[in-house]
């Protein structure tokens, strides 16, 4: 029997795929467990063997990875996530813009002068979005190659730096790419670390 | 009815099923099946995401029930959910009436 053919195996896989807060994840697992046990009980009463009843119950529930993705989409308010990230990115932007305009008005710098802080806002936004994506997306999304492709594009920018390491324009153009790559990898590592901690905790609970 | 045809109607079906009596996910699936004379067998893996989404939107609320052998999450309809269900029923009546008229007229 494959691990995902049993209720315990299915729940373990689902738990690993769910990248949500511990409380929410525990609630979902408890709900699904209750459902699968109820479903298996009904199947046993209909004449299936215990093993066949479990297998059919989990098969009816569907692929655990897909279920986890659906549950995550249902629990996470995407619009709610974008707004704080955008505001976060606006803080350094505004902190830069006001002093810059004051100095430009007073004539100490000319309007249009390049500012070393011009890239802060897009960098912060890119990092935030990358981190959120890396943290929230499950392993299956990484396997699909979408984020891996984005990371490769972002990491491809060293070519421009080798051409002219101190090109300020390149920094503005590619800084956000670097920030997003670092954010994605950081978010992904953070998500995996959390899963690892959860797994160790589960083992200690079972022991 | 296949799951593709059920898309778009799942929320309304669940709201209608909960309206009769608060219940947990498994019971709701069984209720929809019974109410539809076995025509609507909801895909189980899509029901819980829908319930969680409806809860996040404030149309359902849920609480653990202790009166069963296992802890169960029981869903009930909120006032907002009740209002949305009334709207959905009106929309469905208009849609069904229009479709019926159009299909008969095409004969």
3-state secondary structure B68-98: CCCCEEEEEECHHHHHHHHHHHHHHHHHHHH
Residue B52, chain A, CB below 8 Å: the answer is yes
Least confident of A67-76, A99-108, B26-35: A99-108
The string of pLDDT tens digits covering residues B82-98 is: 999 999 999 999 988 99
Outline where DSSP puts E strands in A17-148: none
Residues 6 or more apart whose Cβ sits within 8 Å of residue A74:
B49, B50, B52, B53, B56
- Residue of chain B whose alpha carbon sits nearest to that of A40: B26
What ipTM is given for this predicted complex? 0.85
3-state SS, residue A46: coil
B24 contacts A28? CB cut-off 8 A: no
Contact criterion met (CB below 8 Å) for A176 and A154: no
CA distance A196 to chain B (A): 25
Q: Which of B24, B28, B33, B44 to mutate to test the interface with A (most CBs of A within 10 A)?
A: B44
**What pLDDT is stored for residue A20 in this prediction?**
79
CA-based nearest residue to A96, from A113, A128, A119: A119
User: Smallest Cβ distance to A74: which of B24, B44, B49?
Assistant: B49
The string of pLDDT tens digits covering residues B36-77 is: 888 888 888 889 999 999 998 899 999 988 776 777 899 999
A37 contacts B73? CB cut-off 8 A: no
Q: How confident is the model at residue A36 (pLDDT cuts 50, 70, 90)?
A: very high
Is pTM beyond 0.80? Reply is no
**What pLDDT is stored for residue B71 in this prediction?**
79
Contact criterion met (CB below 8 Å) for A66 and B45: yes
Residue B31, chain A, CB below 8 Å: the answer is no
Contact criterion met (CB below 8 Å) for A17 and A138: yes
User: Smallest Cβ distance to A62: which of B45, B56, B70?
Assistant: B45
Mean pLDDT within A89-98: 54
pLDDT: is B61 or A22 the higher one? B61
Rounded to the nearest integer, the mean pLDDT of chain A is 70
- For residue A6, the Cα-to-chain-centroid distance in whole angstroms is 28
Q: What share of chain B is helix, strand, coil (3-state, %, to 5)?
A: 60, 10, 25
Q: How confident is the model at residue A92 (pLDDT cuts 50, 70, 90)?
A: low
Residue B53, chain A, CB below 8 Å: the answer is yes
**What pLDDT is stored for residue A74 in this prediction?**
84
| R_g of chain A, CA atoms, integer Å | 24
């Amino acid at each position: 029997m494959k691990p995902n053919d049993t209720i315990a195996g299915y729940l373990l896989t689902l738990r690993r795929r769910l990248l949500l807060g511990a409380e929410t994840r525990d609630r979902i697992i408890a709900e699904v467990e209750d459902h699968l046990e109820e479903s298996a009980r009904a199947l046993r009463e209909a004449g299936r063997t215990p093993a066949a009843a479990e297998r059919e119950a989990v098969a009816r529930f569907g692929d655990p990875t897909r279920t986890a993705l659906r549950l995550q989409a249902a629990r996470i308010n995407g619009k709610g996530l974008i707004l704080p990230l955008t505001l976060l990115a606006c803080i350094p932007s505004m902190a830069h813009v006001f002093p810059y305009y004051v100095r430009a008005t007073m004539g100490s710098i000319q309007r249009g002068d390049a500012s070393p802080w011009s890239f802060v806002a897009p960098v912060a936004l890119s990092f935030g979005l990358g981190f959120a994506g890396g943290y929230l997306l499950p392993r299956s999304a990484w396997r699909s190659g979408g984020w891996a492709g984005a990371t490769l594009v972002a990491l491809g920018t060293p070519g421009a730096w080798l051409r002219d390491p101190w090109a300020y324009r390149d920094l503005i153009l590619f800084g956000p790419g670097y920030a997003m790559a670092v954010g994605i990898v950081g978010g992904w590592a953070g998500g995996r670390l959390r899963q690892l901690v959860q797994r160790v905790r589960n083992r200690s609970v079972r022991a | 009815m296949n799951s593709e045809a059920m898309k778009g109607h799942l929320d309304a079906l669940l709201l209608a099923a909960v309206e009769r009596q608060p219940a947990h996910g498994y019971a709701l699936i069984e209720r929809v099946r019974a109410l539809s004379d076995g025509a609507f067998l909801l895909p189980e893996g899509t029901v819980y995401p829908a319930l969680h989404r409806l809860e996040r939107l404030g149309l359902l609320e849920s609480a653990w029930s202790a009166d069963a052998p296992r802890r169960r999450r029981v869903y009930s309809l909120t006032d907002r959910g009740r209002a949305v269900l009334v709207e959905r029923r009106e929309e469905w009546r208009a849609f069904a009436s229009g479709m019926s008229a159009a299909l008969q007229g095409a004969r």
